[in-house]
């Protein structure tokens, strides 16, 4: 499979190069040129373990690596790192199935991909004969930063700098990041929201490329955000895991469709579901769940993407995003028209708005359903599910749960529904505690302890004692200083 820029048919690279570069030089994202001609024995995957599935799926999507090489990389990435060998277990909650993606080393679903990306990155560096150090730039809305730092901690030949919105992440997320150990990791707050941080990172890539700012320095940039295809590919695996579990449990027969409800921010997670569908998995509807920042809901309803709107800070901060980067890949894959994507993205950066052609809108309608859930709905969902089923959800999962119920009511002919659960409830303990009718004061760490006492749901090991770990990172900078900050780190 060959990769190309979503904005230019002539910019083509191998999968290893795409991982190494993070994003295309022209500002586009690397995407498979096409997914429709991929021949893949998806049924053969169903009896396999999750790690065996990962080997097959990843070597199909990233053919720079043989199946044998990939098997070694998968082992290196996952063995002993997750709470279960299954990596991403499923549980029944009422008539729905919840796919738990947060059983990894930092209790966020980002762990699934960010355990794999560092080994892919190191292997890609060798494949491409690159001796430069790789400097990973990452903007985070909260969870990516910690998972990326943990993944890259002390990985030879790499260094990582993470930017998060100042005051825009939860206290637990912030504590996880600023206490991260490792000689090659660094994190700074940026005054602004996530979009400011993400735009700043994209701008650094563009300026470094245009002005050759790192030439001869023995350093090159890459990204651990889901703009990197090496982040996206590992996420395809758990759609297969969930499907196989439903078959095993007798809930469906092989070939029956399953609908997936995905709490969505940057559109990476749900795009991985689209990849799974294109690889043959019988994915029925992909349901895009948003919080009050429901730009994707509006887009999927109208075909108009309009970021000229208020930005809300919600109780599901990892989805507080107005520019969903990975949507660009979907637009490219559906239209197969890099020129069109370039035009749309140009309109987005100039005016904040674009409208997709009617034919493209019709294609979206066939696969996607979209709805949103505000903070009040989130809170109600957490309380209701706990009282009814004794299952404790985090705020992001709750958004998806609420949207799943909306979807089922609106589309009675729906297939069995899998809800993707993207974080441990202990990452957002105050909001979860309040949803259970308890009062939480401002101290999120006390809320964590209290939540464990009230529910009896065990606190993940990695979050225990977080408050008492030493703070190692204290930088706060303005968006305009991000480039200088990076050049300074690169110079060391």
Ligand X SMILES: *Cc1c(COP(=O)(O)O)cnc(C)c1O
**226 is a site residue for ligand X (CB under 6 A):** yes
Backbone φ and ψ for 354, nearest 5 degrees, come out as: -150, 160
Tell me how far apart the alpha carbons of residues 263 and 399 are, in angstroms, rounded to a whole number.
7
- The minimum distance between CB 225 and ligand X, in angstroms, equals 9
Helices then strands (H, E): number in the chain?
Answer: 19, 16
What crossing angle do the helices spanning 143-152 and 117-127 adopt, rounded to 10°? 50
- The minimum distance between CB 314 and ligand X, in angstroms, equals 11
Residues 6+ apart with CB under 8 A from 197: 139, 140, 163, 164, 165, 190, 479, 482
Q: 3-5 and 8-13 as β-strands: parallel, antiparallel, unpaired?
A: antiparallel
- The minimum distance between CB 195 and ligand X, in angstroms, equals 13
Q: Which of 267, 354 has the CB closer to ligand X?
A: 267
Tell me how far apart the alpha carbons of residues 448 and 100 are, in angstroms, rounded to a whole number.
20
Using the contact rule CB under 6 A, the part of the chain among 238-246, 265-273, 404-412, 448-456 near ligand X is: 265-273
- The minimum distance between CB 28 and ligand X, in angstroms, equals 18
Taking Cα atoms as reference points, which of 305, 294, 293 lies closest to residue 330?
305
Residues 6+ apart with CB under 8 A from 164: 139, 140, 141, 142, 145, 173, 174, 177, 187, 188, 189, 190, 194, 197
- The minimum distance between CB 381 and ligand X, in angstroms, equals 14
Give, in order, the Cα–Cα distances in Å from 337 to each of 28, 147, 350, 363, 463.
13, 34, 20, 14, 45
Give, in order, the Cα–Cα distances in Å from 26 to each of 21, 253, 272, 342.
12, 45, 23, 10
**Please, which of residues 387-406 interact with ligand X by CB under 6 A?**
396
Using the contact rule CB under 6 A, the part of the chain among 16-24, 53-61, 258-266, 375-383 near ligand X is: 258-266
**264 is a site residue for ligand X (CB under 6 A):** yes
Q: Which of 396, 450 has the CB closer to ligand X?
A: 396
Q: What is the x/- site pattern for ligand X, positions 46-85, by CB under 6 A?
A: ----------------------------------------
Residue 210 designated active-site: no
**110 is a site residue for ligand X (CB under 6 A):** yes
Tell me how far apart the alpha carbons of residues 15 and 172 are, in angstroms, rounded to a whole number.
35
392: DSSP letter: -
- The minimum distance between CB 312 and ligand X, in angstroms, equals 15
**426 is a site residue for ligand X (CB under 6 A):** no
Using the contact rule CB under 6 A, the part of the chain among 206-214, 262-270, 352-360, 375-383 near ligand X is: 262-270
Q: Which of 21, 320 has the CB closer to ligand X?
A: 320
**223 is a site residue for ligand X (CB under 6 A):** no
**342 is a site residue for ligand X (CB under 6 A):** no
Q: Which of 110, 127, 277, 427 does the annotation list as catalytic?
A: 110
Question: Which listed residue (4, 293, 318, 372) binds ligand X by CB under 6 A?
Answer: 318
Name the site residues for ligand X (rule: CB under 6 A): 108-110, 143, 226, 263-269, 318-319, 396, 422-423
**Positions marked catalytic:** 110
């Amino acid at each position: 499979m060959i990769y190309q820029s979503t904005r230019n048919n002539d910019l083509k690279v191998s999968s290893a190069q795409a991982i190494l570069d993070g994003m295309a030089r022209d500002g586009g994202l690397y995407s498979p040129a096409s997914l429709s001609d991929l021949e893949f024995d998806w049924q053969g995957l169903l009896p396999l373990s999750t790690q065996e599935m990962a080997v097959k799926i990843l070597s199909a999507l990233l053919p720079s690596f043989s199946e044998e090489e990939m098997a070694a990389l998968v082992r290196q990435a996952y063995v002993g790192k997750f709470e279960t060998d299954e990596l991403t277990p499923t549980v029944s909650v009422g008539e729905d199935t919840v796919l738990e993606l947060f059983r990894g080393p930092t209790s966020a679903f980002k762990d699934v991909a960010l355990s794999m990306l560092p080994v892919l990155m190191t292997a890609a560096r060798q494949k491409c004969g690159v001796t430069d150090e790789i400097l990973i730039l990452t903007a985070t809305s909260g969870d990516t930063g910690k998972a990326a730092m943990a993944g890259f901690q002390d990985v030879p030949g790499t260094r990582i700098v993470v930017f998060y919105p100042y005051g825009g992440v939860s206290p637990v997320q912030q504590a996880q990041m600023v206490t991260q150990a490792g000689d090659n990791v660094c994190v700074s707050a940026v005054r602004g929201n996530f979009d400011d941080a993400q735009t700043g990172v994209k701008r650094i890539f563009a300026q470094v490329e245009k002005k050759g700012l790192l030439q001869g320095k023995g350093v090159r940039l890459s990204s651990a955000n889901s703009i990197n295809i090496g982040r996206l590919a590992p996420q395809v695996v758990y759609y297969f895991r969930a499907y196989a579990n439903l078959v095993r449990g007798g809930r469906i027969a092989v070939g029956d469709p399953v609908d997936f409800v995905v709490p969505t921010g940057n559109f990476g997670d749900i795009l991985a579901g689209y990849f799974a569908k294109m690889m043959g998995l019988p994915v029925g509807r992909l349901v895009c769940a948003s919080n009050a920042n429901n730009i994707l809901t509006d887009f999927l309803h109208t075909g108009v993407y309009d970021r000229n709107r208020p930005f809300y800070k919600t109780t599901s901060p990892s989805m507080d995003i107005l520019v969903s980067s990975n949507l660009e890949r979907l637009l490219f894959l559906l239209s197969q028209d890099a020129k069109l994507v370039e035009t749309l993205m140009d309109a987005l950066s100039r005016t904040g708005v674009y409208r997709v052609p009617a034919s493209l809108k019709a294609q979206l309608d066939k696969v996607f359903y979209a709805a949103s859930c505000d903070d009040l709905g989130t809170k109600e969902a957490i309380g209701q599910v706990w009282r009814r089923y004794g299952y404790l959800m985090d705020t992001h999962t709750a958004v998806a749960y609420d949207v799943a119920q909306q979807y089922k009511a609106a589309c009675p002919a729906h297939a069995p529904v899998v809800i993707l659960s993207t974080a441990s409830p202990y990452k957002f303990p105050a909001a979860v505690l309040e949803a259970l009718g308890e009062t939480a004061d401002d101290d999120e760490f006390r809320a964590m302890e209290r939540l464990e006492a009230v529910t009896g749901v065990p606190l993940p090991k990695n979050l225990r004692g977080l408050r008492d770990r030493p703070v190692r990172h204290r930088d706060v900078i303005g968006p305009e200083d991000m480039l200088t900050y990076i050049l300074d780190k690169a110079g060391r």
